[in-house]
Structure 1
Amino acid sequence: MLGFIRNSVSRNLLRSSLSTTVEPVKTLEPAPVELDKLYKTMQIELRGNDPAVLNSYVKFATTAGNHLDVNSKSWKLRKPNHERLTVLKAIHVQKKHRVQYEFRTYYSFISYMHLTESTALTLLEYIQRNLPEGVSMKATSIELQKLPVHLTREESEQSSES
């Protein structure tokens, strides 16, 4: 029984392969080339609660940028942001017994200059995937664009009138 199924399947495959017709190859027009976007700067803000981890990650991120031939500059805020919270030890009674918690948030910044879109995306993905525990990241980029046509026309008209 299994041999019969195998033979019928192979005959059907053979029939379908013989019945196909070959179509002439159409020449494809070349796709329009899309240029990469250019970024003037890409700034990354890093926040963390451990300054040693944050400093280590900043060194890693600037080294990654240097390997991609991207100019980078890093700096940090001198004083961390302190946030204090005072709560009662017990839920309902003992108002004079309290506990005080303190959160310190350290900030570091990295600025990458003169990037193409592909380099920026590659770099950003790489440093995002290696983000350590307890560190958050916010990326902001400034894109360079051509002047709109209506602005360039006005400038050319003003220069021709003078």
Structure 2
Amino acid sequence: MLQVLKSLRLTQPTRFASALSSTATNIPSGSADVSAVDSGEPDKLYSKLEIELRGIDPAVLRSYTWFATTAAEHLGIELGKCWSPRKAHHERMTLLKSVHIYKKHRVQYEIRTHFRYMNFHKLTGSTLDTFLEYIERNLPEGVALQAAKTELQQLPAHLQQPPEQV
């Protein structure tokens, strides 16, 4: 791989990208796949991206929210509402210390899950994919991310024309 990178000139970015893709997949450069950008298909539009973050440490969630909003600003994504509930979700389990007897000797375990919600508005499909991949790759340990996107679509042809007059 290093030999390929050393032999390429940086003044020819198309040759550089095709050489990387052909060496990574062991496919000849003549049969490389055409990307979705060159296919002529219009990019999808999304009105909203809702992200839910779950974690056990609220400070980590706050820090990651700052990271995601900063990344969105650099990509030119419109930031919506970012909020978190005041209280964490508590889950308690009570177990017996002993295996068979001594029912009065118990131990309690508690898990607190903190939530954080972020909304982003007016995204294109390529920007959304790039943004989601970037923030998923930088997700800290102990944090779960759930994303829901709302796509904009055209009205069907039978609904676009006004109804005939009766």
| TM beyond 0.5 | yes
Q: What residue ranges of structure 1 are gaps of 5+ in the alignment?
A: 1-30
1:112 aligned residue: 120
Q: 1:70 aligns with which of 53, 77, 86?
A: 77
What is the CA–CA distance in structure 2 between the aligned matches of 1:59 and 1:39, rounded to whole Å? 22
The one-letter amino acid paired with 1:77 is P
2:64 aligned residue: 57
What is the CA–CA distance in structure 2 between the aligned matches of 1:78 and 1:130, rounded to whole Å? 26
User: CA shift at 1:157, angstroms?
Assistant: 2.8
Alignment of 1:11-50 (within 5 A): 33-50=40-57
> Who wins on radius of gyration, i.e. which is larger?
1
2:87 aligned residue: 79
Alignment of 1:144-155 (within 5 A): 144-153=152-161
What is the CA–CA distance in structure 2 between the aligned matches of 1:135 and 1:32, rounded to whole Å? 37
Q: What residue ranges of structure 2 are gaps of 5+ in the alignment?
A: 1-37
- Secondary structure of the residue aligned to 2:135 is helix
Return the TM-score normalized by structure 2: 0.74
Between the two proteins, what is the percent identity of the paired residues?
Answer: 53
What is the CA–CA distance in structure 2 between the aligned matches of 1:122 and 1:32, rounded to whole Å? 18
What is the CA–CA distance in structure 2 between the aligned matches of 1:72 and 1:32, rounded to whole Å? 30
- Secondary structure of the residue aligned to 2:163 is helix
- Secondary structure of the residue aligned to 2:131 is helix
What is the CA–CA distance in structure 2 between the aligned matches of 1:57 and 1:64, rounded to whole Å? 10
Q: Deviations over 1:109-129 (max 9, x none)?
A: 111100000000000000000
The one-letter amino acid paired with 2:163 is E
User: CA shift at 1:32, angstroms?
Assistant: 5.6
- Secondary structure of the residue aligned to 1:66 is helix
RMSD: 1.4
Q: Deviations over 1:13-35 (max 9, x none)?
A: xxxxxxxxxxxxxxxxxx76101
What is the CA–CA distance in structure 2 between the aligned matches of 1:32 and 1:88, rounded to whole Å? 63
1:157 aligned residue: 163
2:10 aligned residue: none
Q: Is 2:93 the counterpart of 1:102? A: no
Runs of 4+ in 1 over 6 A off after TM superposition: none
Return the TM-score normalized by structure 1: 0.75
Q: Deviations over 1:38-74 (max 9, x none)?
A: 0000000000011011111111111110110111131
